[in-house]
Structure 1
Amino acid sequence: MKLTRAAEYAIRCVLYLSRHAAGQLVSRREVAEAMDIPPAFLGKIAQGLARAGVLVVRQGALGGYLLALPPKDISLLRVVEAMDGEILLNECLASPHHCGMSPTCPVHGVWAGARKRFRADLASVSFADLAGCPEPCAGGLCSAGCSRAECGN
């Protein structure tokens, strides 16, 4: 599984907004510049996040973005699936009827278990966790003392 560029940019956008005060409106230009996201693409991403209930989009000269929920209530899974759809590792999980082996295939259970664990890992990380970790983590702890669960390492 590989995240799309839209999912990567959506994660950046929500992370940036998570580091701002609740209810603070941030301009599209500021988010785009700070997180290195093409402004036109950011507009499309913001619409997808708004449809998923993650973001509020305010139009106009004084418009911008703000989170629709507290960062602690927005999981990494929710943002990824808002952009890329439900995470599936292969075709047999997406539509078992495509594979005649699906009912008896010994590998099907492995794929299903891996998908379940991966989704659970992403669901366990909130943007409050990520926003509290100021730098990339290595070896389980970053210099700010974030835990492995907070950093995803």
Structure 2
Amino acid sequence: MRLTRAAEYAIRCMVYLSTLGPGILASRQEIAEHAGIPSHFLAKIAQDLARAGFIEIRQGAKGGFILLRNPETISLLDIVETIIGEIYLNDCVARPSSCTSTACCAVHRVWMDARDQLRNTLAGVSFAQLVLQGSCIPGLSAEKGTAHVAYENIPELESESRVKCDQGTT
């Protein structure tokens, strides 16, 4: 499975908004510039995120996007599957009827287990955790004190476990 560009951009958008916290308005241009997302592409992605109830879109000159939920309650899996649909690693897992050997195929179980492990890993990472680990967006991180929200109920992460990201990756 390869993550689509739209899913990568949606994750960056949500990291940025999570760094600001719920209820804080950020303009489309602000998010696009800080998160490295083409503005026109961000507008399309935001529609999907809004339909799923993660953000609110405000129109007009003073418009933008507002995070609606606490980042502690939003997982990477939530956002990835909002953008690309349910994760499947191959056709026999996605559409069992496409494979005549599904019931007795040893490889089918391996694909199912791998898919389940990936989904569980993504489901186990909240956007609050990502912000605390380092936002991967230049200039924004809870560690540097630029986040506007202090998240509760997240254990402090050891400094050696902090994630370091290149500007172009999520």
TM-score by length of 2: 0.80
Match of 1:139 in 2: none
Question: What is the deviation of 1:53?
Answer: 1.3
Between the aligned partners of 2:103 and 2:30, the Cα distance in structure 1 is: 51
Match of 1:141 in 2: none
Match of 1:140 in 2: none
Q: What are the residue-to-residue correspondences of 1:2-151 with 2, within 5 Å?
A: 2-134=2-134, 145=158
Rate the CA distance shift 1:88–1:17 in 2: closer, same or farther, 3 A. Answer: same
Question: What is the deviation of 1:147?
Answer: 7.7
Question: What is the deviation of 1:55?
Answer: 1.1
Q: Residue 117 of structure 1 aligns to which amino acid in structure 2?
A: Q
**1:54-73: CA deviation from partner (whole Å, max 9, x where unpaired):** 11111111110111100001
Give unpaired runs (5+ residues) of structure 2: 137-156, 164-170
**1:79-132: CA deviation from partner (whole Å, max 9, x where unpaired):** 000111100000001111111111110111111011111100000000000011
Between the aligned partners of 1:121 and 1:40, the Cα distance in structure 2 is: 31
Cα pair 1:27 1:64 within 8 Å, conserved: yes
Rate the CA distance shift 1:135–1:32 in 2: closer, same or farther, 3 A. Answer: closer
Question: What is the deviation of 1:51?
Answer: 1.0
Runs of 4+ in 1 over 4 A off after TM superposition: none
Question: What is the deviation of 1:21?
Answer: 3.4
Identity %: 51
TM-score by length of 1: 0.88
Between the aligned partners of 2:81 and 2:160, the Cα distance in structure 1 is: 24
Q: Residue 60 of structure 2 aligns to which amino acid in structure 1?
A: G
Question: What is the deviation of 1:135?
Answer: 6.1
Match of 2:139 in 1: none
Rate the CA distance shift 1:86–1:146 in 2: closer, same or farther, 3 A. Answer: farther
Higher RCO (Cα < 8 Å, 6 or more apart): 2
SS for the counterpart of 1:56 is strand
Cα pair 1:132 1:146 within 8 Å, conserved: no
Between the aligned partners of 2:30 and 2:82, the Cα distance in structure 1 is: 22
Q: Residue 18 of structure 1 aligns to which amino acid in structure 2?
A: S
Between the aligned partners of 2:14 and 2:84, the Cα distance in structure 1 is: 15
